[in-house]
Structure 1
């Protein structure tokens, strides 16, 4: 679904991974869709939802391999726009 959305609009992206860690110690591995064009990133966000990630500001001390220190409390994301976690994987 993501690939089709981007191909139809001529958007080019790369996929990166980051480990997101909350103050409680909860963590998840997140897949990031990275766009060169900010307008493409915004169109993707508008359609699928999600969280903006700034690699220079959000990675731990700006390190390329640093983790993403999240603020607030952890909440599992089950639905993002037209995407959702299948019922069997929710619990």
Structure 2
């Protein structure tokens, strides 16, 4: 019966050592090329996700593009014909 008294290394530390081993075995440019290739081919979200699925996945609401002509001018002067309470 064996007893492992040494604490397990955290995931980040193990990942760091595995990256260092990969660089040592394959070279820096091969590891960087594999990382860029994996990043480039990562799964993308579809463009038309319904709002209820976005909420279920924890995604922010879909961004609505704005144009400077869509912004209304708001002045500090109240409308003279609007009377609050009437």
In the superposition, the TM-score normalised over structure 1's length comes to 0.19
Question: Which structure has the larger Rg over C-alpha atoms?
Answer: 2
More strand by share: 1
Greater relative CO, 1 or 2 (CA 8 Å, sep 6+): 1
